[in-house]
Chains A and B, each alone.
Chain A
Amino acid sequence: KTTLHGEDHNGEYCCHMSMEDCEQALTISLEDEKSYAITPKYLEYLASKKLIVPRFKSIQWFIKCRSRLNLCFETVFYATNYLDRFILSMNQCNIEWKYWMVELLSVACISIASKFSDTTTPTLHEINLNMEDMEHLFQPSTIQRMELMILQALDWR
């Protein structure tokens, strides 16, 4: 039996796990991963709503924002995942996507992502300012309302 060393976030707690435990944990994680993945019909939806280019721009903002505000790389991946899952969750209600909506959504997504993965979180204003080629500047209260909409749509997961 091989034993592995697992460390938690503060690096103090370690736990001996058997190989079987590890394999089981990995299987569960991969299974979980599926529930956060997007479906093939997402691409169709993006195309039908002309969102492919705006989505591409959003991801560029995320990457720029990460380096300017010194955020961690996970934040970019989480933000993109939230953005995709939120847009997908909207495919039932027939909304007309406007460009400012994607901008607002992007600011809120990176704010939420940063709260989960960074040790120091930038303020909403900082995020908005650092997405400099954005056309709109949003009120913090508006961004917060958007955060809540996203969290509810994603069921806080």
Chain B
Amino acid sequence: MEKYKRDGVIGKERNSLRQIHKYRRQGSSGGSVVVKRFMLQPKLDALSTRDEEASADPEETGVPIKTLRQISLLKVMQHENIVRLVEMNYEDGDSLVRLVFEYADMDLRNFLEEYAAKASDQKLVKKLLCQLLRGVAHFHSIGAAHGALNPKNVLIDIGNENLKILNIAMDADALYTAPELLLGSTESSPAADMFAVGCIFAEMVNRRPLFQGKAANINNIFNLLGTPTEENWPGKLSEVFPNLEPHGLDLISKLLCLDPSKRIKACAALKHDYFKDLILLR
């Protein structure tokens, strides 16, 4: 880890008190990376017993199943809109592995704040949303779900306007959590990812979070989308997004659909009329 220098916190790990840091690469290559630690042989000290990895008794089953599946998934996940795994470092006699991921210029939250003029270009919003959906569609195509999409783990490269999704099991942000999860369903799902995409889309259009407050709760969502009767709810959306074209409004209503089984799928969203006039240079 000598090659890297700590450069700010980007979030917290899921089910753990450990923070995830961003590092700046030293020397000529430059650029930033994100590092995710995995315990392979959990130690019995006070700190690591709080981690989910440690709770699965190592003596019983060997390398924890979750760790095994996560790392394997990260290894096979290769897509232009998903953050790339750069290297793996084993430490402490192989009891710990550090996965190093490339980072982009900044996250979407910072982009919307620091580049307000550029970010208000509706063509760019369309281009970014398309890339976001492609990345999400890739997750779903291999039977996985991201589970914690929010503007902090959607990364942007300013120069070429490329978007990449960071996937390192961070804490989910309640403001982007689908209503079915707020109501007690615990499994993350492709449909819940699509609700988060809807919230991110809304945030890009209005350049502020769709649901605000200390913690989004079910009331905030129902205030906007109506309690779950299908007749009354899309009404308010056009008031919230006065500048959004009709196709965009239609797409956002399908992404924020309250019923997860009726919510639009990533591959269908990519074929939506909203993207009809988008020419992407590939």
Contacts and interface: CB of A to CB of B under 8 A. Distances in A.
Given A112-B68, A140-B59, 9 more contacts: A15-B265, A16-B267, A111-B62, A115-B65, A140-B60, A141-B59, A144-B58, A148-B94, A156-B68
B189 A144 contact: no
A145 B76 CA distance: 23
A124 B62 contact: yes
A116 interface: yes
B20 to A, nearest CB: 20
Given A112-B68, A156-B71, A123 B143 contact: no
Contact of B72 (A16, A17, A111, A157): A157
A53 to B, nearest CB: 27
| A-B interface, 7 closest residue pairs, ranked by CB to CB distance from nearest | A144-B62, A123-B60, A115-B65, A8-B143, A156-B75, A147-B63, A13-B190
Contacts of B58: 140, 144
Contacts of B59: 124, 140-141
A34 interface: no
A41 B76 CA distance: 26
B140 interface: yes
Interface string A21-46: 00001000000000000000000000
Contact of A156 (B62, B72, B140, B261): B72
A121 interface: yes
Nearest to B41: A144
B65 A15 contact: no
A9 B265 CA distance: 16
Contacts of B112: none
A157 B76 contact: yes
A110 B3 CA distance: 37
A155 interface: yes
B189 A12 contact: yes
Contact of A8 (B65, B71, B140, B268): B140
Nearest to B59: A140
Contacts of A151: 63, 68, 71
Interface residues of A, number: 31
A121 B61 contact: yes
B69 A143 contact: no
A152 interface: yes
Interface string B258-279: 0001000111100000000000
A148 B191 CA distance: 34
Contacts of A124: 59-62
B90 interface: yes
B61 A116 contact: no
A150 B90 CA distance: 14
Given A16-B267, A121-B61, A157-B76, A115 B68 contact: yes
A154 to B, nearest CB: 10
Contact of B267 (A15, A145, A152): A15
A9 B143 contact: yes
B282 to A, nearest CB: 15
A151 B267 CA distance: 33
B65 A121 contact: yes
A68 interface: no
A157 B88 CA distance: 13
A147 B65 CA distance: 12
A140 B57 CA distance: 11
B268 A16 contact: yes
A126 to B, nearest CB: 9
B40 interface: yes
Contacts of B88: 156
Contacts of A9: 143
16 contacts: A8-B140, A14-B265, A108-B62, A111-B61, A115-B65, A116-B68, A116-B69, A116-B72, A121-B61, A124-B60, A140-B59, A141-B41, A145-B94, A151-B71, A156-B71, A156-B75
